[in-house]
Amino acid sequence: MIKTDASQTQQLARQAIDQLAAALDAGESDRLRAYLAGMARFHQYSLGNVLLIHMQFPRASRVAGYRIWQRLGRQVRRGAKAIQILAPVLWKDPQAEEGAERIVAFRNAHVFDVSQTEGKPLPEFARVTGEPGRHLWRLKKLVQQKGITLSYSDQIGAAEGLSTGGTIVLRTGLDSAAEFAVLAHEAAHEFMHAQAESRPGDKTVRETEAEAVAFVVCQAVGLETSTAAADYIRLWRGDKNTLLASLERIQRTAASIIHGVLGPNEPSGSSVPDAIVPLPQV
């Protein structure tokens, strides 16, 4: 059984942050560049269309038109029911500046969710891998001891986890390594950003802090993090300077979680007490 004291957890946090800072300093990974190139093909939909998509296909995570899917090397399955949205009809005034257009009407358009397609895998982030074992149980227990409600849902869009101030929702069906990493990230949001007076106003800072904490905790329990944390932070336009500006906050929060996850009170046996499971679906 692993036991840690305050000095050991602080040392683990410092070592992991040094690794993350070096990865951020090295620039974008090949995997992140491939991901960004692939995602550039997807449109950003208006709030109205987002609502239309959710009403017709609540579990939608990534949608695109028939031809876009083909360009991405995927084919819409035969018999798949299209999701209807509204697409703008643009008119270019020949007397106006070059490139000037305005919306003159809307028309029906059809899109499909990735789950309705098959073919070439989409570019993805590097994933945290490994087996967290009982540390996942411990992290869940720590979160719930802090008075945070933990639940699971397959209707949270493209996100794998959400934190809404006292509540964490994780995507149903994550493998154990991903579940641990996402829960650590959302727990960091709860511990660091739930109170308005201590919450940074810049979302880049908040996401950098949460992902850095998750990286440190994952490292401490022996998971393989690859470039996942650095890629995520860079996606939010964070960098080494963003990380180092929050160094003390990140270390303090990560050390607290590590101590809770690697502490001496792990329950014996392989079953998880009924007091914390099953967790509700939303």
Least confident of 51-55, 68-72, 96-100, 114-118: 96-100
Q: What is the largest CA-CA distance in the chain?
A: 77
Asked if residue 133 and residue 210 are part of one domain, the reply reads yes
Cα separation, 55 vs 59, in Å, equals 10
Q: What is the DSSP letter of 276?
A: T
Asked if residue 56 and residue 193 are part of one domain, the reply reads no
Name the residue with tokens 């590097």. Answer: 126
Asked if residue 177 and residue 82 are part of one domain, the reply reads no
Q: What is the pLDDT of residues 61-90, one digit of tens each?
A: 788 899 989 988 899 999 999 999 998 887
Asked if residue 57 and residue 43 are part of one domain, the reply reads yes
The average confidence (pLDDT) of the chain is 84
DSSP H or E stretch at residue 176: helix 176-193
| pLDDT exceeds cutoff 60 at 22 | yes
Asked if residue 224 and residue 157 are part of one domain, the reply reads yes
Asked if residue 74 and residue 139 are part of one domain, the reply reads no
Residue 276 is assigned to a structural domain of this protein: no
Domains held by the chain: number: 2
Give pLDDT, residue 214: 95
Residue 244 is assigned to a structural domain of this protein: yes
The pTM score is 0.70
Asked if residue 182 and residue 100 are part of one domain, the reply reads no
Give pLDDT, residue 60: 84
> Are the C-beta atoms of residues 62 and 122 closer than 8 Å to each other?
yes
Asked if residue 253 and residue 140 are part of one domain, the reply reads yes
Average pLDDT over residues 181-189: 96
Q: Which of 98, 119, 140 is the last residue of a domain?
A: 119
For residue 112, give its domain range. Answer: 35-119
| pLDDT-based confidence at residue 99 (cuts at 50, 70, 90) | low
**SS3 (DSSP) at 87:** strand
